[in-house]
Amino acid sequence: MECATKPSSKPSSNISDVVSKFAKVCRFRSLGVFSSDNPNQPNNDDVANREPLAEDSSDVTEEAECDPEKVHPHPDEIQPKSSETTDFVNIEVSKLFDQISALKLAYVKLQEAHIPYEPDKIRAADELVVTQLQELCKIKCAYKGKQFKEVYPTSALLVAKIRVHERLLEKLKFLVKIKNNQIHDLRQELQDLDLKNRVLVEESRQPPTRNENIEIFNMSSFEDIFKSTSKAIHDFAKPLITLMKASGWDLDRAAESIEASVVYSTRSHKKYAFEAYITRRMFYEMPLESYNVDDILRFDDPINALIEDPYSSFATFCRTKYLSLIHPLMEVSFFRNLDHRAFVTSGRHPRTLFYQAFVKMARWVWVLQGIATSSEPKAEIYVVNRGSEFMDVYMESVEELNEETIVSDGGRSRFKVELMVMPGFRFGETVFRSRVYLSTTSCCRC
């Protein structure tokens, strides 16, 4: 289709250049605009104000010939914009951009209300976003319902911008929907947390059961108690040895009577013989039943627990172990009487320094046994016999072993156990090693 143009000797204005360039670049289809009374007849005023196209419009004609789908309007259909229409477009576009800016600001406020999470601010921001969306819809409807009287390529650019903003609006709606879903999920999560907190508060008000008390002691706690028990036995051996010295005992013969033919590195290591003696007596016939240890641990001084309940399980344990550990001849040599024994046998507990030291040591043994038999899985206690080969997986030397004592003549030494100072415990795959005193002689592996 060939478009007829009105010839002109030279371009009358820059408008024709703009029309030509926009037609070439954007390839928008021009639409003729007529008066509302008769769409087939042009307005006389518009015809009077019509300006001729420039010579460059021939480019448009050439493109129309090359592209059969492109239809260009008749020159009579192209009309310049009136000032009234231009003002209307400028006002509507200004409103549109202002509304888009207000919508963006409202959405930013909605995002800010989520961090930190404040329901009142979120609700207000959500209402503001909805209001801005409604205003934007009104502008959209007004634009679609309004028929421009004059159409230039600039109106097509406005349409393209509006479509871009419409896509942005759809995106914002989608984001608002996502935020609303997140708000719903967070509210549900908050309700679940409130419910759990109420349950925990109710459970905290109830007295703890025995199993709950036992669960408090994990493996780390047991290790601490295991070390405290070993230290308590070591500490009680000191006053025992001191009383033996003061009473004229031969410590060499006493250590020999506990375990014969032990070769000690130094004479001071004979203290381990007395620690081994205390351990044997205290862990002999360990009770297999589980019991609660909280009543004993709440006392700073365990002797007070015996005074408060002299016939408790702990009191029975102390009475039995004292009579087994301290021989009558030993007590007579220490105190020149058997008053301690008489008190303990009658169910009472003397407040002497020696008996208090014994009770402090007995408490840790009692607690260790109670936790070991009440744990899950249940602990297995194991002992190491004299003459056993040293294995560092299950045993720990009471004296530190250095490389000079471990390696001799190019081979690794094989130490033998002389004394078991502290038994070991095993919880499934977890092992708390037994503490042993090793012989000073060793044989090298071939």
Residues 55, 102: one domain? no
Q: Write down which residue in 150, 167, 200 finishes a domain.
A: 200
Residues 21, 112: one domain? no
Render pLDDT for 324-382 as a digit per residue (tens, 0 to 9). 999 999 999 999 999 999 989 988 888 899 999 999 999 999 988 888 877 766 778 88
Dist CA 149 CA 330 (whole Å): 124
Residue 418 lies in a domain: yes
The domain of 184 spans 83-200
Residues 87, 73: one domain? no
In this structure, which amino acid lies at residue 117?
Y
Residues 30, 71: one domain? yes
What is the average pLDDT score of the chain? Answer: 75
Which has the closest alpha carbon to 11: 71, 53, 45, 65?
53
Its pTM stands at 0.51
Which has the closest alpha carbon to 413: 436, 434, 437, 439?
439
Residue 363 lies in a domain: yes
| Band of pLDDT at residue 402, cut at 50, 70 and 90 | low
Residue 338 lies in a domain: yes
Render pLDDT for 10-26 as a digit per residue (tens, 0 to 9). 444 444 454 344 345 44
Structure tokens that stand for 328 in this block = 């009558």
Task: Return the H-helix or E-strand segment holding 443.
Answer: strand 443-444
Out of 156-170, 293-307, 344-358, 399-413, least confident range: 399-413
Residue 209 lies in a domain: no
Q: Is the pLDDT of residue 436 over 90?
A: yes
Residue 205 lies in a domain: no
Residue 213 lies in a domain: no
Dist CA 217 CA 251 (whole Å): 39
Residues 234, 340: one domain? yes
Query: By three-state DSSP, how is residue 431 classified?
Result: strand
Q: Is the pLDDT of residue 384 over 80?
A: yes
Do 439 and 413 touch, CB atoms closer than 8 A?
A: no
Residue 59 lies in a domain: yes
Residues 190, 252: one domain? no
End-to-end CA distance of the chain: 109
Please tell me the total count of domains within the chain: 3
Residues 230, 196: one domain? no
Residues 291, 373: one domain? yes
Render pLDDT for 77-95 as a digit per residue (tens, 0 to 9). 444 555 655 666 677 788 8
Residues 265, 365: one domain? yes
What was the pLDDT predicted at 446? 39
